[in-house]
Amino acid sequence: MTPAQERLDQMRSTSGQRWTLIALAVSTPVLACLAIGAASRFNPTAVCVTVAALSIWTSLRPDTHTDIFVMIIVVAFWLAQIDDVVTPWAIVVALAMAGHHVAISVMASAPHSAIFAPTIVRRWLRRCGIVAVATAGVWALVLGLDRRHAAGNAALSLAALAALVVAMMVVRARSLRS
């Protein structure tokens, strides 16, 4: 069988869930680039096309490391265009990139024809919801601290980092049990 025929057979056997994940994996980094463009008033067309092409390639082969280039391009675009650390667009970009990462991770964990059980889908959605709420919470915290104009405190920053690490370990331990 030729490689082209193998690809065609693979496309025919691709589940509806997989097509949804592909659409999510391609659209979310493009959404992130559009949000960066809107926040910076910069035309993001070239970056969006590049990211879309790389996302399509990554969706075809999610088990490779090509996704890192999608992430690098979006983050570099963000760093080059955005100076405001408390812009609400940060949440849009962060959640879009989280959605992209999750879609690629799920696709990498199963063959093209796989159909995930509802319990697995609910578990992934619950975890994504937790990450979304935490992302908004951290943004709100940064916004509050930015408005205070307080001097930096290394000890307080280290304590906050330690608390976050402990919280992450607790959540991970609980999620591994379920």
- What six digits make up the tokens of 160? 């906050």
**Alpha helices (H) along the chain:** 3-13, 16-40, 45-60, 67-81, 89-108, 118-148, 154-177
Higher per-residue pLDDT: 113 or 5:
113
For the chain, the domains span 10-116
CA distances to 67, 105, 124 from 48, rounded to whole Å, are 15, 21, 27
d(CA 13, CA 6): 11
pLDDT tens-place string over residues 33-52: 999 999 999 999 999 999 99
- Residue-level length of the chain: 178
Q: What is d(CA 62, CA 107) in angstroms, rounded to the nearest whole number?
A: 6
What is the share, in percent, of the chain residues with pLDDT greater than 70? 98
Q: Provide CB contacts within 8 A for 174, sequence distance 6+.
A: none
Q: Is the pLDDT of residue 149 over 80?
A: no
